[in-house]
Amino acid sequence: MEKRILSVGDCVLDMLCPPMPSLPEGDSQHRIEKPVLSPGGNSLNFAIACSMVNRNVHFMGAVGDDELGRTLIGIVSKYPLNIKTKVLEGCGTAITVAIPDKKGGRRLLSYSGANLSFSAKPSDIDMDEITHLHRGGYWFTESMMGDNDIRLLAAAKAAGIETSLDPATDPLGFTESRIEGFRGVLEYLDILFLNEEELLSITGEVEVGSGLESLLGSGVGTVFLHRGEKGALWRGRMGSGSMPAYKVSEPRNPTGCGDVFNGVLIGLVHADSDLESSISQAQKASAIRLSSSVSVYPDQRTIDSFEGTMTDIG
């Protein structure tokens, strides 16, 4: 039996607004074009993107017992993803309103809902069927943070399963107590995805290089750093390198681009694609999503047909 990729974590219904010329300050009201309802959350975005290039992908998360949850499950059912969601009574389904600007910036307003109460134990997962375990949206799944995540990731490692995690930006501002709990999971991670702000906030360093060394010294196998228009950088057991991003003349949907990169990368690596080719295709997939006016998870044909040029920003 072919083993599967499993993503565990946050599950969100996103309302993606079209980009504004600039993000307003203060008390104001603005007319926009029709927003788009889309799957969201680091873990769910990862899983859907991964399933578009690797058809043996599963997701585990939670929704509330409400219309938003039923809407989200209906949207996700259109993708080639095996999804197992807990329906938590008394909880609302998580929702995020994303308001981007035309320069690629954004504001996110998030209600975490059922994600705060969701948790997964090693006994919930048949470890013999898994080849890769991904944890996403660490800060938004508070019932898993710290000891519960350590138990899950440690069990996966003991079973010989490759592990990855994307913490996302902490909506409570990277407090020391929350960062301390996060540090405990690092030794159980083969791969850590994050951006520069998250890297420096978590490590307390002021330079990217020293931040990377801090994470690798804490036991992380390989760090993949999202750098926006500067592309991706990676360092660790999988090797070291960097790759520019593809040019996007008109950014429209920055929400979920990092998740799409992560999912496509892991999906292709586990489909026996070599690392640099997988990274290049993940960069293309991220650029396709960024330039789209709708929520896009590119399939292999769309990625292969993308004819972009890389930036000269390093």
Note the pLDDT of residue 2.
Answer: 81
Token digits for 8? 């565990």
For 35: left if phi > 0, alpha if psi spans -120 to 50, otherwise beta; the answer is beta
Note the pLDDT of residue 313.
Answer: 62
- Return per-residue pLDDT of the chain as tens, 314 residues: 589 999 999 999 999 888 887 776 778 787 888 888 999 999 999 999 999 999 999 999 999 999 999 999 999 999 999 999 999 999 999 999 988 887 777 788 899 999 999 999 999 999 999 999 999 999 999 999 999 999 999 999 999 999 999 999 898 999 999 999 999 999 999 999 999 999 999 999 999 999 999 999 999 999 999 998 899 999 999 999 999 999 998 888 888 999 999 999 999 999 999 999 999 999 999 999 999 877 899 999 999 999 888 887 65
Token digits for 212? 């990377």
Pairing label, strands 232-236, 241-243 = antiparallel
Query: Cα Rg for the chain, rounded, in angstroms?
Result: 18
Domain 4-22+33-298: CATH architecture, name and number where available: 3-Layer(aba) Sandwich (3.40)
Note the pLDDT of residue 314.
Answer: 56
* C-alpha to C-alpha distance for 284 and 34, rounded to whole angstroms: 26
State CA 66 to chain mean position distance.
Answer: 24
Domain positions in the chain are 4-22+33-298
Residue 70 neighbours by CB under 8 Å, 6+ apart: none
Note the pLDDT of residue 250.
Answer: 84
Note the pLDDT of residue 229.
Answer: 87
State CA 9 to chain mean position distance.
Answer: 10
Note the pLDDT of residue 1.
Answer: 59
Note the pLDDT of residue 183.
Answer: 94
* C-alpha to C-alpha distance for 234 and 247, rounded to whole angstroms: 20
